[in-house]
Copies of this chain bind each other. A is one copy, B any other.
Amino acid sequence: MATMDDVARVAGVSTTTVSHVLNRTRPVSERTTDRVMAAIEQTGYSQNTIARAMARGRTQSLGLAISGLANPYFSELIAAVEEAASAAQHTLLIADTHDDPEHELEVVRALVERRVDGLLLAPSAGAPSLALPYLAGQSLPVVLLDRFVDSSLDQIGSENVEPTAALVDHLVACGHTRIGFVAGSAELSTTLERLAGYELGLERGGMAFEPALIAHGGSQRAGAAEATRRLIGLAEPPSALISGNNAMTIGVLEALQGLGRRVPDDIALVAFDDFEWADFFSPRLTVIAQPTDELGLRATELLLSRLDDPTLEPRTIRLPATFVHRESCGCRDSS
């Protein structure tokens, strides 16, 4: 594979000059430029990012470590981050943490070893004891995504409390009095906040908080199915369910179908997180939609700005999420 030296030789100039025409980093006469371009063409030269990174001390790449790459929420996030990154001339390296602290540490380490210039991380519940301490020793710009765990770092995510409360408000308005909540992993800040929103909604609706109506679904599909079965198996089962995130929503529906309960005829269901296809399948889910595009864009901007100026004060940003009214709540009003 042709190197810069090959190009220089063919063009009859120094590698310095080749480098400068490639990077437009100092004026080069038109004649020389042409010769170099011709030589590049002729040799089929292709830049070597590795060597360049080595010489410059930065890779012009960003790392993105999240869980469940296939999760539609994260897919949209990836697309947005990728776009923002490449607009700023950065490549994106993506890794899946599997939401497991050990694995997370491993992939974060891999990203560091690849010398990404900055890192976007959706921290797992165990991050504060593994990945984050590791990162603290690496002097690498980091922004935390989705979940809030360390205010000494830049963090960005959605509003959780009020939107979840809005879900409850709506169900209450629909006449429900027993509302079950399929919650995520208890260690995640999002879970805690959505639970707080659930309680807030209950309170606003003048309803008693009943611990038995909360079932932990572990943020994953299987756990949510399990949790749903527990809720439905209650002596006084809920007449409406709230699912804490999109992966769990699939699990809830799976369980409901297994139990022969139809949505919304037999039971109402609303959820946190939207699906791209939610309008075209039934039950048509009433949900809270996160502003994933903006989340990805702003997160990347946050990171890039810190690369620019590492002395910036840590920032925490909350973006609003919106209520999308469809039919799984079983009401006809547009509350």
Contacts and interface: CB of A to CB of B under 8 A. Distances in A.
Interface of A: 1, 44, 46-51, 53-54, 59, 69-70, 72, 75-76, 78-79, 82, 91, 93-94, 96, 109-110, 112-115, 137-139, 250, 253-254, 257, 276-277, 279-283
Contacts of A280: 250, 253-254, 257
Contacts of A50: 50, 53-54, 59, 114-115
A194 B276 CA distance: 26
Given A51-B54, A94-B94, 15 more contacts: A44-B137, A44-B138, A49-B115, A69-B79, A70-B72, A70-B76, A70-B78, A70-B79, A75-B75, A79-B96, A82-B96, A93-B93, A254-B279, A281-B281, A282-B282
Contact of A46 (B59, B79, B112): B112
A113 B47 contact: yes
A155 to B, nearest CB: 24
Contacts of A254: 279-280
The prevalent SS among residues of A at the interface is: mixed
Nearest to A275: B277
A283 B93 CA distance: 37
